[in-house]
Amino acid sequence: MIEVKDDWCKGCNICIDRCPVDALEESDNLNRRGVRPPKLKEENECNYCRLCELICPDLAITVIPEEDDKKPVKKTLLTPVGGKLK
């Protein structure tokens, strides 16, 4: 599950763009700023990697893992492009 503080979202959509499993989309409701904050898709493969939470420039997203809902962990984009760290 992800929680979004709607009014903190400025609508950069970085979370949607960067999600490794493409689990996010714009929601239907407009917030105070007139942008559509993200939400999880109906059908999604979110594995709680927390990338969206960590890179949200406005600290608006919180990822809350659901214990009983274990999904296969897929490789994420957490390392910089070009290779791995030492």
Residues that bind other proteins (CB under 8 A): 3, 7-8, 10-14, 17-18, 51, 53-59, 61-64, 77-86
User: Which lies closer to other proteins via its Cβ, residue 28 or residue 32?
Assistant: 32
User: Which lies closer to other proteins via its Cβ, residue 1 or residue 70?
Assistant: 1
Q: How far apart are CA 8 and CA 59, in angstroms?
A: 8
Q: Are residues 57 and 8 in contact, defined by beta-carbon separation less than 8 angstroms? A: no
Phi, psi of 5 (to 5 degrees): -80, 100
User: Which lies closer to other proteins via its Cβ, residue 30 or residue 55?
Assistant: 55
